[in-house]
Amino acid sequence: MKIEYLNSVRKQFEYYKSLGERTFEQLNEKDLFWNYNEESNSIAITVNHLWGNMKSRWTNFLTTDGEKEWRNRDSEFESEIKSEVELISKWNDAWNCLFEALASINKENFDTKVYIRNQEHSIIEAINRQLAHYSYHIGQIVYIGKMIKGSEWKSLTIPKGRSTEFNQEKFSKGKHKGHFSDDIG
């Protein structure tokens, strides 16, 4: 059960990471810094926040509080990222930190209690908390990308008007194992 959960959640994180990356691929550098208004966040600001959160939560995941003393959350919502190269670098750094932490979890340490802002979490609770948080922000990234691209947007999942075709293909395979995202994109 424990290893099955870890494998499943890793696949979920990989899926959301890919949605972000497939959005970046459709945009030019200028688009990454566009925001709807002064109160909204650009993709770059959202990536900066994800980076700060991931680095804080996943560095020494099993041994230190997930809210590190060195984290400056408020600055994550400032325009700190200045280029697409920097954005991709921070994106990859954050995800590498997350995946390394997940890889460090095993049967022997799975019952370790972890803390976020001094609040105790089981490993499952801590992971689920972050999975929900990251999918929320990646949804924002995708939505901004769709607003920018308009009719030129290439669907990342099942394109509008293609649900019946997609379902027919899925059901034609019979019952099978796999992740729901294996046939999307």
Residue 185 has a pLDDT of 62
Measured CA to CA, the distance from residue 28 to residue 14 in angstroms comes to 23
Region 110-122 average pLDDT: 97
Measured CA to CA, the distance from residue 169 to residue 148 in angstroms comes to 31
- Residue boundaries of the structural domains of the chain: 2-154, 155-185
Share of the chain above pLDDT 70, in %: 98
Residue 180's pLDDT band (cuts 50, 70, 90): confident
Q: Which long-range contacts (CB under 8 A, 24 or more apart) does 70-73 make?
A: 73/49
Residue 128 has a pLDDT of 98
Average pLDDT, the chain: 95
CATH of domain 2-154: 1.20.120.450
Tokens of 35: 């925001």
73 versus 2: the higher-pLDDT residue is 73
pLDDT at 181 exceeding the cut of 80: no
pTM summary value: 0.93
Residue 110 has a pLDDT of 96
110 close to 2: Cβ distance less than 8 angstroms: yes
